């Protein structure tokens, strides 16, 4: 039996396509469960029964252990609380096992920190260059009053 966080399926001759299809089906049921709307039902009992069926199709309690179901629910919540730039990647790998997904998120987080540090260094370098340019221009500007005095003293105002 192959275990995924989304679903568990029996191994078959076409193992990878069966797992992919099962995982896709579970994702459809998960989305239907999460986006269910009470207004589209005849009443509270029908709404509850519909939710129960969607949840059962998603989490498969007859095929999965309590721990597997709990892991699925925790993983879903975990993906929701991640920063947005990590959520996208986490959701792409939703069907991976817990350790694989956590490793991927940790790696991505390290890469994002490195990229952020590089961006900060780049911005600091640009700031330093601009500050140097401003200092040079300011130095030239501080000469301007002296040059003005020099030219007016020696050549008079008419030559400027």
Beta bridge partners of 101: none
Half-sphere exposure of 42 (CA within 13 A, CB side): 3
pLDDT at position 134 is 65
Q: Do 90 and 148 sit in the same domain of this protein? A: yes
Residue-averaged pLDDT of the chain:
76
pLDDT tens digits for range 114-143: 888 888 888 888 877 877 766 666 666 666
Lowest average pLDDT, out of 24-33, 108-117, 141-150, goes to 141-150
Give the highest mean pLDDT range of 2-11, 115-124, 125-134, 145-154.
115-124
Better-scored residue on pLDDT, 31 or 26 = 31
96-102: list long-range contacts, CB under 8 Å, 24+ apart.
96/4, 96/5, 97/3, 97/4, 97/5, 98/5, 98/71, 101/5, 101/75
Pair 76, 133 in one domain: no
Q: Do residue 37 and residue 77 come from a single domain?
A: yes
**Number of domains comprising the chain:** 2
The Cα–Cα gap between 98 and 76 comes to: 11
Instruction: Mark whether 20 and 72 lie in a shared domain.
Output: yes
- The answer on 91 and 31 residing in a single domain is no
Q: What is the pLDDT of residue 5?
A: 45
Alpha carbons 19 and 96: distance in angstroms, whole number: 11
CATH number at residue 15: 1.10.4020.10
Do both 91 and 74 map to the same domain?
A: no
Read off the pLDDT of each residue in 68-94 and give the average, rounded to a whole number: 83
Query: What pLDDT shows up at residue 53?
Result: 93
Residue ending a domain, among 39, 63, 81, is 81
Residue 56 has pLDDT above 90, yes or no: yes
Same domain, 91 and 71: no
Please identify, among 32, 63, 81, the residue that sits at the C-terminal boundary of a domain. Answer: 81
Host domain of residue 20: 1-81
* Together in a domain, 61 and 134: no
Query: What percent of the chain is modeled with pLDDT above 90?
Result: 15
Q: Mark whether 47 and 95 lie in a shared domain.
A: no
Which of 50, 81, 112 is where one domain is finished?
81
């Amino acid at each position: 039996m192959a275990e995924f966080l989304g679903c568990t399926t029996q191994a078959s001759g076409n193992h990878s396509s069966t797992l992919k299809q099962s995982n896709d089906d579970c994702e459809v049921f998960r989305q239907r469960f999460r986006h269910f709307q009470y207004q589209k039902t005849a009443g509270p009992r029908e709404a509850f029964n519909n939710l129960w069926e969607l949840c059962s199709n998603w989490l498969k309690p007859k095929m999965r252990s309590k721990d597997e179901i709990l892991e699925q629910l925790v993983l879903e919540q975990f993906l929701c609380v991640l920063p947005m730039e990590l959520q996208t990647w986490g959701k792409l790998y939703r069907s991976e096992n817990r350790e694989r997904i956590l490793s991927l998120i940790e790696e991505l987080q390290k890469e994002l920190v490195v990229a952020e540090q590089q961006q900060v260094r780049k911005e600091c370098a640009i700031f330093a260059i601009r500050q140097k340019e401003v200092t040079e221009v300011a130095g030239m500007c501080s000469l301007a009053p002296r040059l003005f005095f020099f030219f007016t003293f020696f050549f008079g105002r008419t030559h400027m």
